A and B are shown apart, each in its own frame.
Chain A
């Protein structure tokens, strides 16, 4: 089996670009990734592209070919949709295709255009990641669904809004130096607690923002990297995906995310590592409670123990296991379809040593990316490792 290297990574600034089309955003991220990789455009054999709400935000389906065009690449291109895990699942397919020898050079990425919608419209658009008949028609919004998970978590395991506020404070602190992040400013626990309620117990500062942005990575086979003398010092050594019932009402327990546990176990086994080997992680913190569920699913904490990780400093940048050094979805921003590959782009830079926060993880060799769709009815996990030459 061929090994898979990340040869290049690119991201637009995440934030509010209501006037920029998806094709324009992806053109920038993809160009940067291809230039960073140093591969010839004509060597690209496929474009794997994640997008969630293009029909609603741009009246545009069939976005794969547009993504390839935007990059000036003549190759087959396919869009992957798995809600907020769209580019994560695109990446998984690309990793498998390189491993299988189907391709030597692939561009994988994603884009979302969201801020051209009103708050009400984007709330409605995000809700379609839930079950239309049984959840959306009951008035369940995306924050409302995670709020019900938080309520159940507090009841079963304890925890407070203040514990969740520490997750937001940590991720904002990490974003301060990240020039691609939407919010490069610190917040306080007090400000988080006093922010307006969105869906109890979640308030505004527990939620990721509405974001425009694109991200891309270039995957190459090890042979291609060697033959072309590429500086591709990070490998994707593990991939895993898990699934769960769509609606919260059909889950055994809404205070856990077993789809992510399944994805993590598969990815760790694939890479031949365990949770203890992980030095740094980017996890899907669309809401503060989501980061807690992710930490537990990834095996970093026992069930019910992840809630205090940020408050106790375990997952802060100077802690034992820094989580979301990019700022996470909370502060870096969450352009839904771009998020999965942006996590991998950030981890690649963290492991290479050219990320603004690399100084906090100078010895890091193993990174994990956790990307969830909807209320974690979909989950995909990837293991990245520094290639020791």
Chain B
């Protein structure tokens, strides 16, 4: 991602996570006690365990809650309106935008995760597609 032609500084851990999602190789972090969380982590937020392993994210998840955003922040000006959702993948939940009309989204809708770029700034965006 560039800004005014200059290389921007990345967010280690998070950038790799989004890149993996884009490749269809999504993962989460699992501690020795089986708690799931999302990177970057050095310890498990549940129990403090530092014994963390990358584990494959399930292929599909279910919408846990959602909304249609009509009034966006400036960085999403050209994207609005859009639907955001928290999606339950079992060990972890993930927030992103649903590539569907709000009428076709409900709690429990099965979706798979991917990555697109935003219309406004071309920034990477976690997305969900119903299937």
Binding site for B on A (CB under 8 A): 119-121, 123-124, 127, 133-141, 143-144, 147-152, 155, 196-202, 245, 247-250, 254
Chain A hits for B37, CB < 8 A: 250
Beta-carbon contact of A144 and B84 below 8 Å: yes
Beta-carbon contact of A133 and B14 below 8 Å: yes
- Chain B stretch 30-82: residues in CB contact (< 8 A) with chain A: 37-38, 45, 64-77, 79, 82
Beta-carbon contact of A134 and B67 below 8 Å: no
Beta-carbon contact of B102 and A200 below 8 Å: yes
Q: B96: CB under 8 A from chain A?
A: yes
Beta-carbon contact of B64 and A197 below 8 Å: no
Given A137-B123, A139-B82, A151-B107, decide whether A249 and B95 contact each other with a Cβ distance below 8 A.
yes
Binding site for A on B (CB under 8 A): 11, 14, 37-38, 45, 64-77, 79, 82, 84-86, 92-97, 102, 107, 118, 123-126
Residue with the greatest number of chain B CB neighbours at <10 A, chosen from A144, A149, A150, A254:
A144
Beta-carbon contact of B11 and A139 below 8 Å: no
Chain B hits for A149, CB < 8 A: 65
Q: List 18 A-B contacts (CB under 8 A).
A: A119-B71, A123-B71, A123-B72, A134-B38, A134-B94, A138-B126, A139-B76, A140-B69, A144-B84, A151-B66, A197-B68, A201-B67, A245-B45, A247-B95, A249-B93, A250-B45, A250-B93, A254-B86
Beta-carbon contact of A138 and B125 below 8 Å: yes
- In the bound complex, what is the Cα–Cα distance between A134 and B75 (angstroms)? 15
Beta-carbon contact of A140 and B84 below 8 Å: yes
Beta-carbon contact of A198 and B73 below 8 Å: no
Chain A hits for B107, CB < 8 A: 151-152, 155
- In the bound complex, what is the Cα–Cα distance between A127 and B45 (angstroms)? 23
Beta-carbon contact of A136 and B68 below 8 Å: no
13 other A-B residue contacts (CB within 8 Å) besides A138-B95, A139-B73, A152-B64: A123-B73, A127-B73, A138-B84, A138-B97, A139-B82, A140-B69, A141-B69, A144-B67, A144-B69, A147-B67, A200-B67, A201-B67, A250-B45
A122 nearest in chain B by CB position: B73
A248 nearest in chain B by CB position: B86
Interchain pairs with CB closer than 8 A, number = 103
Beta-carbon contact of A139 and B70 below 8 Å: no
Q: How far is the CB of A121 from the nearest CB of chain B, in Å?
A: 7
Q: How far is the CB of A347 from the nearest CB of chain B, in Å?
A: 32
Chain A hits for B96, CB < 8 A: 138
- In the bound complex, what is the Cα–Cα distance between A135 and B87 (angstroms)? 12
Chain A hits for B84, CB < 8 A: 138-140, 144, 148
- In the bound complex, what is the Cα–Cα distance between A141 and B73 (angstroms)? 7
- In the bound complex, what is the Cα–Cα distance between A141 and B81 (angstroms)? 12
- In the bound complex, what is the Cα–Cα distance between A322 and B85 (angstroms)? 35
Beta-carbon contact of B71 and A143 below 8 Å: yes
Main secondary structure of the interface of A (DSSP, over half): helix
Chain A hits for B69, CB < 8 A: 139-141, 143-144, 147, 199
- In the bound complex, what is the Cα–Cα distance between A202 and B70 (angstroms)? 10
| 9 residue pairs, one from A and one from B, having the closest CB atoms | A147-B67, A249-B93, A152-B65, A124-B73, A148-B65, A120-B74, A200-B68, A144-B69, A138-B95
Q: How far is the CB of A375 from the nearest CB of chain B, in Å?
A: 11
Q: How far is the CB of B56 from the nearest CB of chain A, in Å?
A: 18
Beta-carbon contact of A249 and B94 below 8 Å: yes
Chain B hits for A136, CB < 8 A: 73
Q: How far is the CB of A351 from the nearest CB of chain B, in Å?
A: 38
- In the bound complex, what is the Cα–Cα distance between A143 and B14 (angstroms)? 25
Chain B hits for A197, CB < 8 A: 68, 70
Beta-carbon contact of B65 and A140 below 8 Å: no
- In the bound complex, what is the Cα–Cα distance between A150 and B107 (angstroms)? 12
Q: How far is the CB of A53 from the nearest CB of chain B, in Å?
A: 13
Beta-carbon contact of A196 and B70 below 8 Å: yes
B128 nearest in chain A by CB position: A138
- In the bound complex, what is the Cα–Cα distance between A136 and B65 (angstroms)? 16
- In the bound complex, what is the Cα–Cα distance between A174 and B107 (angstroms)? 36
Chain B hits for A150, CB < 8 A: 67
Chain B hits for A147, CB < 8 A: 67, 69
B123 nearest in chain A by CB position: A137
A147 nearest in chain B by CB position: B67
